[in-house]
Structures are given as structure tokens and as C-alpha cells.
Amino acid sequence: MEYYLFLTDRCNISCSYCSAGRVVSRKEGRLFPRDRFPELVEFIKKNKKYRKNSDEEDIVMFFGGEPLLEWQMIEEFLKCAQGLDVRYGLYTNGLLLDSVPVEVLNNLDVLFVSFDGDKSSHEKHRGNGTYDKIIANLKGLRGRLKCTVLGRITVEEETNLFASVTNILGRFVDAVYWQIVNKPRFNDAQGFIRRYREGAERLFRLWLERLKEGEVLNIIPIQAIVTSSIFGYNGSASFRCGAGTIHRTIDVDGHIYWCDEYVGDERGRIGHITDEIPPLEIFIPHTELFEDCRKCDVSPLCLGRCRKALTEYSTEQKRLYCALTRHLIGLVRKNIDEVKRIVDERGYGFEDVYPGPYWTEEIP
């Protein structure tokens, strides 16, 4: 199971599209009550019996708001959760990384640092100086962190995908994942599709060139599609993000949601930490949520991309996201024989091509 824990709904910045925007209050803010940590730990323990197999990992992801505003609470949770057998991640906007003791960060397996594309688009959304500040913080931590640092890029319509990835990968972060922003309408859909395709093609060409030279770039969407095509995919039948199956977002008030974008919205509420929540296979699969998925040739790889988008958006809007997904998967497919030949020649296994972390939505 993956537990996304809202430690706080306060944030030190305010991004226009933030999934927590509905509930984030910069002034007051709510905190997850420290005295409920034992109850939360008990909830996670109880739910272990619903794992499909004993190797399935439990993940606690510190989330918010900006969880580093309350980094002392992370230490408290870790103390309370000793012996729980979970792995840890944290989502941050990166601005406070220099004010947190590195020993605290080294309890994590993965540190997700969010970017809004390259410097110009990032600062358009987050303010002047914010990009350089994150980069300076990451430079300051280079060589001192034990965890994987993952750059998580939100792709907006104006995002230069290629520059956004290559500016940080290998220099400041170990791996990159990007996610296309969820919205019910694009301003310039055709322009966005064109730009996205160009960026994706350049990235895939770069990835393939490096593979030929014996280097695997940690560009997660490409790695996930390549490994699923060559080695098969063992995850859930729908939605790689786990929404509807293994994903639980826990709000500061203990309510649980099937997706972090629904926090504060009753439509996404599935229980409370005082309940016991069995696996959510009751949720309908992507092929029933959206008719196009039934006859879609990339369905076994895409798995519906985003449950929220398929649930809420118009058919026209869903098809625009599908055009982006189909293009990305198509790029890999067109070249899969060549990729497979290189992988075979070098004797690579799954983890050589895709060493993880595996805790992203994988399909942007």
C-alpha cells in the first residue's frame, strides 16, 4: 500500500494548480495531530493483511502542503513507527532543504523535488529566484544524501519538456519523472500536443543514444514503457498510480482519499484511519470508465493513465491526453526491436533498465 500522509496543509508558496490548493491555507494551516501517530501506525499495521503478497512494500510518503515546514513531525512519526517495516518518501518544493538536518532526510528512500519545467516556466508559477534556490539546495546536499533524489516535473502547456529534464538529470537529481498537469481544458491543445511530442521525441532519442553507449538514463516514463514492453508489467490491472487499488491519501483530519487530488472533496473519500479499509478492487477498471480504452491498442501499457481524468473530464479532453500518451508509447514501440537487441546484447535485466524508484504514476 502507498500512504500519502498530509503532515500539514500549510505551504511556503502557492502554486496555481496545486492538488492541495483547495485545502491549503498559508496563514493558519492544519497539522496532522501528533497524538494520533500511534493510531495511524496501527491503521497501517492492520492493513498489512490486505497485501497481495508478502513482498509487497508499504510506503509512507510525507506530503502536504510543504512537509518540510514540519520536519520535526517526521522525526516523531519515525520514532512512533519503529519496527513497522515501511519505506519512506517525501514530496517537497525544495526551498527548505537547507534548513533540515541531513540525518532527517537520510531516513527517506526517495526525495521527490517538484519542478515546473525549466527555470522560466518554474519561476512563472513559483516566483523569481525559486528555481536557483532549489538548485543551490540540491547542490549543497550532493554526496551527503543516501536517498534517491527524483525531480518531479509538472508539465504545463508552455513547458519545454526536453530542457526541463536535461537541465537537472544527473546534475542535481538522480532520476526524473514528469506528469502532465490535470485540467479540464487546454488553452491551445494543438500547440501543446506539438510541443510535447517534439520534447518527448528528443528525450527518447537521447535515451536511446545513451543506451547504445551503455548508459541508462533515469527517465522514468521511458524506462517504465520500455520495461513493460520487454519484460511485462506485474502491477495492477488499471492505473499505475494505484488510485483505486493501493493508493491512500490521508488528510490531516484522518480522512482517507483514493487520490491526492481529491483531498477535501467528499467524492474521493473512502474512509478514515479509525476504519479498516480493504483493497479497493471494487473500483471499476479503466476499460469500463472510458469506452475508448476497450479498443485502444496501448491499453495494456497505459492502463488508463489517470483515474481522476477518466472520471471527470469530457471525452474531448480525455482524447487530448490520450493523444499525448499514445505518442509517447508509440515512440518506444517503434524502436522496441532495437532497444531489445541492445538490452539482450548487454545482458540487461529489468532492474538494469529501470532501477527505480517505482513510486510514480509512470505514465505521465
Enumerate binding residues for ligand SF4 (CB under 6 A).
Answer: 182, 239, 241, 243, 259-261, 286, 290, 292-293, 296, 298-299, 302, 304-308, 322, 325-326, 361
Q: Which is nearer to ligand SF4, 116 or 260 (CB)?
A: 260
Cβ closer to ligand SF4: 71 or 321? 321
Q: Least separation, in Å, of the C-beta of 328 and ligand SF4? A: 10
- Are residues 225 and 336 in contact, defined by beta-carbon separation less than 8 angstroms? no
CA distance 222 to 353: 10
- Shortest distance, CB of residue 243 to ligand SF4, whole angstroms? 4
Euclidean distance between CA atoms 263 and 23, whole angstroms = 7
Return the SS3 of 247. strand
Shortest CB 258 distance to ligand SF4, Å? 8
Least separation, in Å, of the C-beta of 356 and ligand SF4? Answer: 18
- Any idea what DSSP says for residue 170? T
Helix (H, G, I), strand (E, B) or coil at 111: strand
DSSP string, 5-64: EEEES--SS--TT-TTTTT--SSS--B--GGGHHHHHHHHHHHGGG-SSTTPPPEEEEEE
What torsion, rounded to 10 degrees, do the Cα atoms 222, 181, 176, 123 define? 140
Report, in Å, the least distance between residue 334 CB and ligand SF4: 16
Q: Which is nearer to ligand SF4, 256 or 293 (CB)?
A: 293
Provide, rounded to whole angstroms, the least separation between the CB of residue 319 and ligand SF4. Answer: 7
Q: Report in angstroms how near the CB of residue 143 gets to ligand SF4 at its nearest.
A: 32
Overall size of the chain counted in residues: 364
Closer Cβ to ligand SF4, 182 or 335, answer by number:
182
Question: Which residue number, 100 or 259, has a Cβ lying nearer to ligand SF4?
Answer: 259
Q: Minimal distance in Å, beta carbon 179 to ligand SF4?
A: 7
All three cell numbers of 347, joined, read 545482458
Q: Which amino acid does the sequence have at 316?
A: E
Nearer to ligand SF4, 223 or 299 (CB): 299
H helical segments located in the chain: 37-47, 71-80, 102-105, 119-126, 130-141, 161-166, 189-212, 220-231, 286-289, 291-294, 299-302, 307-312, 315-334, 336-346, 350-353
Q: Looking at beta carbons only, is 221 or 304 nearer to ligand SF4?
A: 304
Between 206 and 280, name the residue whose CB sits nearer to ligand SF4: 280
Which long-range contacts does 50-53 make (Cβ < 8 Å, 24+ apart)? 50/1, 50/278, 50/279, 51/1, 52/279
| Whole-number Å distance between alpha carbons of 208 and 108 | 31
